[in-house]
Structure 1
């Protein structure tokens, strides 16, 4: 049997745990960034590096601003066994590896998913920008799920030739269709008696709570543990859950909601909100979302929902009330969302295109 080229995955959250959860039907494959789909295509052998083994190494790494030092050192002992390193969240898991590549100590190719501006890309410090530009050269392929983040990084690092431009790749991320199968039914709008908002990173639930003082409809918020609203006199139509729910439980919550509300504060340039948006597409739900130019999906252009400015309570009131008064629009938006997920934003397509990135890199390897 022909031996497949080997990919080793490193990440800033425990992919090994997520993979076990996926195998048990508890979480969708988009949280694994192509591992499942690459396995199905059987072109590469994909292994996940156990997330953490020597905690003391991470403590040492943090002193030197090198996150996940433990993982990166363990990668070094596997270099002879693998062909490509794949880092879905590269900024946190590859700094040491990039430094070693810059010094010529290792030469193993690295494929990185980029979710934020790269080191030094928006810095005015010439030394930091110089250092960042040279570190970035250690990535053999940089994969972006945002056209805007890609274009800004290309511009910042000024690729000087076609080979450099080829290193910057855009892919459409999506939801795992099979995971949501059977849950993407669109109930009759009149029977859905709440809107739902879910999330942890930089969520702005306070704006929603304030908005629903003027909206005669129920709102369910599922936040991170420890979240305490700053809003006083919260109305009875708002329920806040901080104990956490499983992804499977979340699907049932989504299914029985009228709409999905994605409200956040842009603390950095990122695709903040996209995970919840992909859930909305896969569940066939209309959305109202805070404006974020770094998300590729234009919900208004695609007719799946509305975009509101950050911190604008009145805008939330207007858009949510419009959807409540127009159930036929909710239904139309939901159907459009589901269609868009099936045709464009799903893990099957993402996996095929990601596999092509690895194939092109491996077949044309110069390492």
Structure 2
């Protein structure tokens, strides 16, 4: 049962009244820490599981959190007061253990899944007719965009399309790489609805996301489901499902020359792009949400039975 659309008081009453076996918390806020507080005060006996999508101390530069100190507090409650933690990647699990010294046995890993709709993207008109490389994500420094644009600067006949939420960092990029934006070699499209995003994936040549830190971004799987090779950095949990040179390329973070090589290689090898895209789609099929749900259920049942990992 999804009970997110209630007030704080409504949530308290709901949790007390229904006596759930397992409560799955997948976000951090004053609302989402309520189950942990009720459990700590012994008002409810439910097992509380926290799904961690990232770490505040590492991701403060991502501009995801308006109040980093507040979310740091929320995160500590979720991690320490939960009965079990599910991390979206082994990369994140290691980060949690290193940052908080939480026992390894308290943390399971379930990779994010991908929705079926991304497997059936239609090729309709989008961003003109010329080929382009696609980036999808918030426009922030942690995503490695400065290095990506520096690489694009060195590659002839390469057009980059940026899609995602705008932050002040976009202004910084536009000033530093003004010639790329003025010549439309780099185009910022902004945020978009799902239908248009599906078209953006389908019409792209391949996908690139060279983040400094990303626990397990869903956009990588979305691109793979659309049949596109991906170029990512080694500082991302997505590397756990990608074999370098098979479904795409994994490059060192901040290494412009490696980005230039990977992007240029794919731009100049149409057949390789097609082959990698097919392999990427096959890998995405093994990571659909219908499969991931079963992994979650298995963990919930295990914890509800009182078993220890």
Instruction: Determine whether 1:48 maps to 2:48.
Output: no
Q: Distance in 2 between matches of 1:132 and 1:180?
A: 31
1:260 aligns with 2:202: no
Q: Give the unaligned 5+ runs of structure 2.
A: 58-73, 124-128
Is the contact made by 2:136 and 2:219 (CA closer than 8 Å) also made in structure 1?
yes
| Match among 327, 339, 345 for residue 270 of structure 2 | 327
Contact 1:193 1:258 in 2 (8 A): yes
CA distance 1:302–1:361, change in 2 (3 Å): farther
What displacement does 1:258 show?
Answer: 0.6
RMSD over aligned CA atoms reads: 3.2
Distance 2:244 2:146 in 1: 27
Aligned to 1:195: 133
Asked whether the equivalents of residues 180 and 251 of structure 1 are also in contact (C-alpha less than 8 Å), the reply is yes
Q: Distance in 2 between matches of 1:92 and 1:210?
A: 41
Q: Cα gap change, 1:135/1:86 in structure 2, threshold over 3 Å: closer, same or farther?
A: closer
CA contact 2:225–2:280 (8 Å) conserved in 1? yes
SS of residue paired to 2:225: helix
How far apart in 1 are the matches of 2:30 and 2:233?
26
**How much has 1:92 moved relative to structure 2?**
6.7
Matches within 5 A, 1:1-367: 46-50=1-5, 53=7, 70=8, 73-79=9-15, 80-83=17-20, 84-90=22-28, 93-117=31-55, 136-154=79-97, 156-157=100-101, 159=103, 165=105, 167-177=106-116, 179-183=117-121, 193-200=131-138, 202=140, 203-215=143-155, 216-225=157-166, 227-228=170-171, 229-230=174-175, 231-234=177-180, 235-242=183-190, 244-266=191-213, 270-271=214-215, 274-301=217-244, 303-343=246-286, 345-364=287-306
253-262 or 108-117, larger mean C-alpha shift:
108-117
**1:87/1:286 Cα in 2 relative to 1: closer, same or farther (>3 Å)?**
same
Q: What is the CA deviation profile of residues 114-148 of structure 1, one whole-angstrom value per residue up to 9, with x for unaligned ones?
A: 123499xxxxxxxxxxx998874531221112113
Alignment: residue pair count: 274
Contact 1:303 1:336 in 2 (8 A): yes
Q: How far is the alpha carbon of 1:113 from its aligned partner?
A: 0.4
More helix by share: 2
- The alignment partner of 1:212 has SS state of helix
SS in 2 for 1:337: helix
Deviation at 1:330, TM superposition (A): 0.8
> In 2, Cα distance between the equivalents of 1:192 and 1:233?
19
CA drift of 1:197 comes to: 0.9
2:207 and 2:231 in contact (8 A); partners too: yes
Question: Residues 279 and 184 of structure 1: is their aligned pair in 2 closer, same or farther, counting only changes over 3 Å?
Answer: farther
Question: Shift of the alpha carbon at 1:314?
Answer: 2.6
**1:249 CA displacement:** 0.9
Change (3 A) 1:158 1:249: closer
Write the distance in 2 (CA, Å) between the matches of 1:265 and 1:330.
25
Go from structure 1 to structure 2 and tell me whether the alpha carbon gap of 1:112 and 1:320 turns closer, same or farther (over 3 Å shift): same
Q: Please tell me whether the aligned partners of residues 161 and 188 of structure 2 are also in contact (alpha carbons under 8 angstroms).
A: yes
Deviations 1:76-110 (A, max 9, x none): 11121240321112577544543443343443321
Cα 1:152/1:174, change in 2 over 3 Å: same
Tell me if structure 2 keeps the 8 A contact 1:85–1:111.
Answer: yes
Which secondary structure does the structure 1 equivalent of 2:231 belong to?
strand
Superposition TM-score, scaled by structure 2 size? 0.76
Checking the alignment, whether the CA contact within 8 Å between 1:98 and 1:136 is kept in structure 2 is no
